[in-house]
Amino acid sequence: MHSSDRDRAVLAALVFAVLFSQVLLYPGVATLVAALGADASASALAATPLDASMWFLVAEFAAYVAFVGVWGLASDATGRRAPFIVVGSLAGAVGYVALAAVPLVGSIPFEGVLLVRIFQGAMTIGAFSLTMTMLMDLRGGHGRNMGAAGIAIGLGAALGAPVGGQLTEFHPLAPLLVAGGLLVCVGGLVSRVGDRAPGADDRRTARALVENVRQRPTLSIPYAFGFVDRLTAGFFALVGTLYFQETFGLDAGATGLLLACFFAPFALLQYPMGALSDRIGRTIPIVVGSLCYGGGILVVGAAPSVPTAAAAMVGVGVLGALVSPATMALVTDLADESERGIAMAGFNLAGSLGFLSGFLVGGIVAGAHGYDLAFLVVGGLEIAIAVVTVPVFLRLSLERAERFRPGDRGDA
């Protein structure tokens, strides 16, 4: 096996482990926050199970937003990735274990739990974003590399949901302990991958790196799609979970299986869809895929039964697999190779803001106006971003730039 192929497989496995550890908590999040002390009588942030769950998820992604750029800048400025991944993953593991220890302490208010969650998120995002950046540094085609990242993300989410549901039924704190153990493994294994970060001999200041990225306004296109795509994922992680449980009377285990109907095809099709975008360009997968993806979300919200909802979730997963790797590959197409850390950090920043918005918008709209309007708003946003950006894609002729960009089709 060529070293790039081996490293691609190892890095994809590490991305999988980080995402899997994150998603383990989602199916049983209401049970988890209750075990961590979320009590309406003690905290205004825990007035209802929906509120407590929303703020627990929001805390992590607020930390993602605040710290992802710091990790990217540090990596690009020093020309190193692996040492930062080791620090982020091990510190993130400490955060997960600290959360699991909260019931043993017994006197930490829910606001204190959220502070620990913020620390855990701030550390974990470094491991996640920089591992993806190491995939960007590989040769062999940007679509293939981001397809590997996408299949890892998708499989992590697909398997994390049902496994997390079963772990929650075993014990509410079990997902936290498993997540911490996985991040320890990430910190130990990343040293087995060659650090190919460019620019180690030509280091630049953080200000210069940010300024260079700001001079590439076309990066706002994949960032915008990343924001809305992750918004839909955050919506399903919180509102979709509670919607399925309240509407169809499902427990945490069954909810995890229903979420897996989306994440399984989303995961398994990422690599071939990414390779497809290397051949046909990014516009069709991103624009057409997003239009259909938004329509699929509306279908899920209108599904009258569990089998119908499951079928709709499968369709949405296929469409998500079409969009996701092409969007991430577009970041690599447009970014200078010495600025990939901050460019991918920008994409993950947009994605984290999307997740955060999915929790907040979905939770607020669903709480105030019901699930039907929440599905309509989120699906409509996905459709709207595709419609609005059609002329932008055509005007900038992005596909032509992708096909002829040097280094995109290097040997694997």
**225, part of any domain:** yes
112-138: per-residue pLDDT in tens?
889 999 999 999 999 998 998 888 877
Look at residue 342 and tell me whether its pLDDT is greater than 60: yes
**409, part of any domain:** no
26-54: per-residue pLDDT in tens?
878 888 888 887 776 667 777 677 778 87
**410, part of any domain:** no
Look at residue 405 and tell me whether its pLDDT is greater than 60: no
**412, part of any domain:** no
**369, part of any domain:** yes
**168, part of any domain:** yes
Residues 321 and 232: their CA atoms lie apart, in Å, by 13
- CATH code of the domain covering residue 81: 1.20.1250.20
- Name residues whose C-beta falls within 8 Å of residue 181's C-beta, 6 or more positions apart in sequence: 93
Domain that holds residue 201: 3-403
> Structural domain tally of the chain?
1
State the Rg of the chain over Cα. 20
| DSSP summary character for residue 285 | I
| DSSP summary character for residue 312 | H
**408, part of any domain:** no
Cα angle 59-61-62, degrees, rounded to a multiple of 5: 65
Residues 394 and 389: their CA atoms lie apart, in Å, by 9
233-289: per-residue pLDDT in tens?
778 877 888 888 888 888 877 887 888 788 778 778 888 888 888 788 787 888 888
Average pLDDT, the chain: 81
**41, part of any domain:** yes
